[in-house]
């Protein structure tokens, strides 16, 4: 239910019949749901800028905007009208989200990441007169706040403290049991929850697992061994609201290496399927991340269906997916492989409409500043994120529920 907000700006000397009306529908939605942004009641042919602004948890501001012209009825519908300029152009229903970027004057190299999934990402959508590019001190004609959620109503967030695991379990609404997903992120470490929260919003009991900066790693100073992942798997398997025979593992970047390793070598984990995003079948040996110790996994031994998602402009960790394909072909299990390869997409393939980050600056242990390049062209990358997420959900539904995802999942349907 959206609350249209009307503001008449007297500075514009608009008469009563030209109070610009703005609505966003739905104004409360999951992050992977589309919204419709509609401006009505503007003068015919009126030039306007539709702008989005988000203040992130870490104190930065992100914005996106498009330049539009009202039609003869004084309407702009962002879902079907062209933007002729701004942070995106053309008909881009979700451009106000995927083209979000730090406002001018921000620190460089920011990456958008929602850490508290119990609150929504709030985006203020506003209308300005004319085709603007600078928004400080400009008068808004109308403004609406859209809420974007990772957790659908009824999804439960359960911090896991047992068995030395650093993890959070997300359960879908209802009694279950639900199929499970073991969800791993990449080399940055930390317990990152938002993808698991979103998976639970789509019907999966999802365990976000930290394995690089986990409590046990900090305590021992050593990289976790296979048994850490097996403990996480058993935790899911034995949970009363998880269906123990239907568990998948999913990883991005370095998490892909862990996922493939466990899928190929673990005697304990019987995975129903695996999803690997922007990864590689090469593996660190003996707990070292040094590249010279990377060896090839025998992916030919893989026994479960594998969805491999690859950004072809991945500047971070070249993904030799053709090699993987070949190895599986040779071993006679290539029928298990589904490969989705996206031209001009980068490394960080996130849930749909997440802002695209090409590179990030970070410090290594010697406090040298290094730039990590993730690659991707923003438009192609955003298309890839949308498609890859739909394919991932469909793949998980097929292999864990044994059927197509017929449920339309949105905040309003739950």
By the criterion CB under 6 A, which residues form the site for ligand NAG?
36, 38, 77, 79-80, 285-286, 293
The minimum distance between CB 411 and ligand NAG, in angstroms, equals 18
The two beta strands, 337-342 and 282-283, are unpaired
Query: Catalytic residue among 202, 239, 281, 347, which?
Result: 347
Q: Closer to ligand NAG at the Cβ: 93 or 187? A: 93
* Residue 24 C-beta: closest distance to ligand NAG, Å: 12
Find, among 37, 26, 60, the residue nearest to 142 by Cα. 37
For ligand NAG, the closer CB: 290 or 363: 290
User: What CA–CA distance (Å, rounded) separates 376 from 348?
Assistant: 9
Is residue 201 flagged as an active site residue? no
**Burial grade of 201 (CB within 10 A; 0-12, 13-18, 19 or more):** buried
CB nearer ligand NAG, residue 285 or residue 318 = 285
- Catalytic: which of 99, 253, 272, 278? 253
Residue 408 Cβ, how far from ligand NAG at the closest point, in Å? 15
Q: Write down the least CB distance from residue 153 to ligand NAG, Å.
A: 25
CB of 378 to ligand NAG, least distance (A): 22
Contact present, 291 and 355 (Cβ < 8 Å): no
Minimum CB distance to ligand NAG smaller for 85 or for 93: 93
Tell me the C-alpha to C-alpha distance, in Å, between residue 255 and each of 2, 55, 130, 275, 277.
39, 29, 46, 10, 8
Rounded Cα–Cα distance for residues 222 and 294 (Å)? 18
Spatial distance between the Cα atoms of 172 and 150, rounded to a whole number of angstroms: 12
Q: Which of 196, 314, 356, 382 is catalytic?
A: 314
C-alpha–C-alpha distance, residues 300 and 317, integer Å: 21
Question: Is the dihedral angle over the CA atoms 396, 350, 194, 153 positive or is it negative?
Answer: negative
- Which of 80, 364 has the CB closer to ligand NAG? 80
Whether 356 sits among the annotated catalytic residues: the reply is no
Q: In angstroms, how far is CA 24 from the centroid of its own chain?
A: 21
Spatial separation of the C-alpha atoms in residues 371 and 92, rounded to whole Å: 31
Estimate the crossing angle of helix 226-238 against helix 254-265, to 10 degrees: 80
Rounded least distance, CB 276 to ligand NAG, Å: 23
- Cis peptide leading into 294, omega within 30 of 0? no
Phi and psi dihedrals of 196, rounded to 5?
-65, -40
The least CB distance from residue 72 to ligand NAG, in Å, is 14
Angstrom distance (rounded) from CA 99 to CA 342: 18
Task: Give 35 or 112: the residue with its C-beta nearer to ligand NAG.
Answer: 35
Closer by beta carbon to ligand NAG, 104 or else 265: 265
Does the annotation mark 281 as catalytic? no
**Which residues belong to the active site?**
253, 314, 347
């Amino acid at each position: 239910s959206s609350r249209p907000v009307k503001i008449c700006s007297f500075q514009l000397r608009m008469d009563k019949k030209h109070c610009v009306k703005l609505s966003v529908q739905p104004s409360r939605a999951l992050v992977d749901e589309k919204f419709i942004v509609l401006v009505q009641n503007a003068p015919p042919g009126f030039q306007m800028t539709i702008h989005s602004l988000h203040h992130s948890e870490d104190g930065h501001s992100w914005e996106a905007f498009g330049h539009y012209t009202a039609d003869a009825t004084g309407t702009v519908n962002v879902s079907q009208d062209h933007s002729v300029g701004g942070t995106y152009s053309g008909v881009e229903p979700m451009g106000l989200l995927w083209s979000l970027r730090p406002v001018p004057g921000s620190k460089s190299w920011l990456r958008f990441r929602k850490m508290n999934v119990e609150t929504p990402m709030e985006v203020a959508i506003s209308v300005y007169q004319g085709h603007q590019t600078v928004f400080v001190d400009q008068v808004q004609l109308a403004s609406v706040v859209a809420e974007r959620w990772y957790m659908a109503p009824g999804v439960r967030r359960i911090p896991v403290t047992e068995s030395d695991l650093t993890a959070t379990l997300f359960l879908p609404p209802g009694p279950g049991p639900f199929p499970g997903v073991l969800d791993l992120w990449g080399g940055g470490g930390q317990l990152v929850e938002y993808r698991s929260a979103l998976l639970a919003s789509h019907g999966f009991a999802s365990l976000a697992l930290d394995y690089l900066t986990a409590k046990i790693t900090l305590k021992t100073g050593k990289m976790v061994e296979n048994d850490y992942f097996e403990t996480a798997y058993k935790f899911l398997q034995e949970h009363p609201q998880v269906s123990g025979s239907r568990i998948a593992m999913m990883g991005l970047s370095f998490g892909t290496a862990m996922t493939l390793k466990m899928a190929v070598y673990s005697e304990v984990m019987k995975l129903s399927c695996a999803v690997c995003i922007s990864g590689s079948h090469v593996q660190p040996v003996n707990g070292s991340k040094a590249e010279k110790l990377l060896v090839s996994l025998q992916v030919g031994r893989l026994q479960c269906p594998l969805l491999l998602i690859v950004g072809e402009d991945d500047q971070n960790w070249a993904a030799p997916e053709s090699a993987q394909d070949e190895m599986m072909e040779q071993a006679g299990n290539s029928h298990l492989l589904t490969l989705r390869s996206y031209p001009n997409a980068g490394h960080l393939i996130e849930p749909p409409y997440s802002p695209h980050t090409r590179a990030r600056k970070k410090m290594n242990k010697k406090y040298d500043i290094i730039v990590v390049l993730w690659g991707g062209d923003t438009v192609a990358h955003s298309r890839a994120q949308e498609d890859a997420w739909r394919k991932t959900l469909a793949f998980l539904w097929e292999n864990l529920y044994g059927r197509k995802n017929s449920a339309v999942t949105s905040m309003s349907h739950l």
